[in-house]
Structures are given as C-alpha cells and as structure tokens.
C-alpha cells in the first residue's frame, strides 16, 4: 500500500511539471507574463508613433489616426508622461498634454465603460490638436494692441478670462501701473494712443486669484503726447488767423514737445528770467514763454513747462 501511494505522488509531480513547463519552477513565477519578442516590437512601434504625434503636435500638425491603432491608455502615459489634465467627459476618458503653443488630447472609452476588454486601460479612439488657452489669449491681446494703434476697440468678449500676468507676459511692461478707485490699471503706449486694462484691485477678494485677477474692461484713448500735439497744432492754426486759443490748452506742455511738434523756432532766446521760443505764423508771430533754462522752478530745468504764449504782428 505504501509503495502504491509513493508512485501516485511521484506521478502527480511529474504531470505538474509537464503541464506547467520547466521554466515555471516557483509559485511567484506563475504570475509573471514576460513580453515576447513580438510584443516588445509592437510596444516599441507604439512609443515611436506617440513621440511622432507629440513632435507634430508642437507644429500644429495632425498625424494620421491610423497611427493610434491598438495603443492603450497606460502606453500613452508611459511614453508621454503625466498629462496636464485627465477627465471623464460625455462617456469618454480624455487626457491632455501641453505641446508648445498647442494642446494634444487623446480620447478613450470611459473607464466605467464595458466596451473595451481592459476597461481601466482602454485603447485610444481618437486624438486632437488645438491651440492652447494661453495661445488663444495671447492672440487676442496682440489683436487688441494692433487695433488700439488704429484707435479701434475690439469687442470686449475677447478678454474673457484673461489675467493680469498674461497681459504683462504678452504685451510687456506697462508704461503705467496704478491702483485707482478700487481698480488696478495697466496702461500701454500704442502709437498715438494709450491702451488701459482694468482689473479688480490687488487688495480685493472678488477674484479667486487676488494677485493675478481677470480683466474687467479695457479702453483706448489718445495719449497725453497726442493731445498736447493736437493742442499745439490748433494754437498754430489759430495764430495764423490772429486768434488766441484758451491758455488752458497749454497745461503741462513742455519745451521739447513744442519743438518736436512745431519744428525749429525762428528765434530762441533767454530774456529777463524767461526762455522764449518764437515761430512765424503767416502774418503773425507766435511766442511761447518758459522759465529760464537756468532756473530751478521746474522739476526739469532743461525741459520746462510753458507758462504762457502770445500772438503779435
């Protein structure tokens, strides 16, 4: 009886060895599924396809969708890294990557779907390339700047969701940045005009990012220099008719602005503590009076503000 039992045990062991194969020598080894040469080749090709898709995406180009055949979620992540966004949306699982100025999105069946034999690691169904939100915002801001140089307003919807830091990064350092009556204002010089963006105050709690708030509104108006040049041109026009324009037109206009707008004067002298520029204006002469260039009355002694002007024959 003992002899028979021994034979059965030996027979069972041999049968197990034959069934499992000589390489499966331990319990742990039975859980390992080594990649075959064929599988490794397929995986390598998939990696190369995904890398090419990313390369093309950075140039806004789409590779044929056939490149995606049988590529699974885990392979995309292993090749391209962690996505910037991963969501379930309308029965699909979407992962999104930044690709330079563009975004690259891969669509899969939902992880809660049963349409794939590996629900948690489904195959790609499609992918798309589109301009990133930042690129769209930068394009809008550049168009606003372009229109502002012509004195044109772009519709305000162009500003939706654009934040302070994006404006600065796109348009550069503003000519002026101030807090004013509960708002934060950035102002840019754009040719003959000025372009101002209004945000909530940086001390406000109305925005979820108080130090980087969204644009509320923007406006375009003639620059201070343009306004002054227009006033001086009107003064010269009136002077040729012997007319005086109100002196308020001269507020804050400086010597260099008069020279730049009206050109070289017929006469420029220092006289009794004043600096005088005189222009020929048809039958008349037009003189502008400034503090002496040797005076300390003005904060810019070599470029003082106009005090007064006169017209005479």
The strand pairing partners of 178, in sequence order, are 185
Question: Do the Cβ atoms of 279 and 297 come closer than 8 Å?
Answer: no
| Tokens representing residue 62 in the block | 């789409």
Please, which residues have CB within 8 angstroms of residue 74's CB and are 6 or more apart in sequence? Answer: 121
pLDDT per residue over 286-305, tens digit each? 999 999 999 888 888 899 99
What DSSP state is assigned to residue 144? H
pTM for this entry: 0.58
| Tokens representing residue 21 in the block | 């194969």
- What is the phi/psi pair of residue 98, to 5°? -75, 135
Question: What does the domain layout of the chain look like in residue ranges?
Answer: 37-131, 135-222, 226-312
pLDDT per residue over 203-248, tens digit each? 998 888 889 999 999 999 998 888 899 999 999 999 999 988 766 6
**Does the pLDDT at position 1 exceed 70?**
no
pLDDT of amino acid 161: 84
Exposure on the CB side of residue 278, measured as CA atoms within 13 A: 13
Nearest to 127 by CA among 81, 96, 100: 96
pLDDT per residue over 79-138, tens digit each? 999 999 999 999 999 999 999 889 999 999 999 998 888 989 999 999 999 888 888 888
Indicate the pLDDT class of residue 263, thresholds 50, 70 and 90. Answer: very high
Indicate the pLDDT class of residue 64, thresholds 50, 70 and 90. Answer: low
SS3 209: coil
């Amino acid at each position: 009886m003992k002899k028979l039992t021994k034979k059965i045990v030996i027979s069972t062991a041999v049968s197990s060895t034959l069934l499992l194969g000589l390489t499966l020598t331990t319990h742990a080894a039975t859980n390992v599924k080594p990649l075959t040469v064929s599988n490794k080749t397929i995986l390598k090709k998939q990696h190369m396809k995904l890398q090419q898709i990313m390369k093309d995406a950075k140039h806004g180009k789409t590779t044929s969708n056939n490149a995606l055949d049988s590529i699974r979620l885990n392979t995309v992540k292993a090749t391209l890294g962690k996505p910037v966004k991963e969501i379930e949306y309308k029965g699909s699982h979407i992962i999104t990557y930044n690709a330079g100025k563009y975004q690259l999105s891969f669509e899969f069946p939902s992880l809660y779907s049963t349409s794939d034999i590996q629900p948690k690691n489904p195959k790609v169904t499609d992918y798309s390339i589109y301009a990133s939100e930042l690129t769209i915002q930068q394009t809008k801001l550049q168009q606003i700047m372009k229109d502002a140089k012509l004195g044109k307003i772009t519709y305000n919807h162009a500003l939706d969701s654009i934040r302070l830091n994006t404006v600065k990064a796109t348009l550069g350092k503003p000519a002026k940045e101030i807090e004013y009556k509960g708002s934060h204002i950035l102002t840019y010089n754009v040719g003959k005009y000025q372009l101002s963006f209004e945000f909530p105050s940086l001390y406000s709690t109305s925005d979820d990012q108080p130090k980087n708030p969204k644009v509320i509104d923007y406006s375009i108006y003639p620059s201070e220099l343009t306004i002054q040049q227009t006033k001086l041109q009107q003064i010269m026009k009136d002077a040729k008719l012997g007319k005086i324009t109100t002196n308020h037109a001269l507020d804050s206009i400086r010597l260099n602005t008069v020279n730049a707008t009206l050109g070289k004067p017929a006469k420029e002298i220092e006289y009794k503590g004043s600096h005088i520029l005189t222009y020929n204006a048809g039958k008349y002469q037009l003189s502008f009076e400034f503090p002496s260039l040797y005076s300390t009355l003005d904060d810019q002694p070599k470029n003082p503000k106009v005090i007064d002007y006169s017209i005479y024959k």
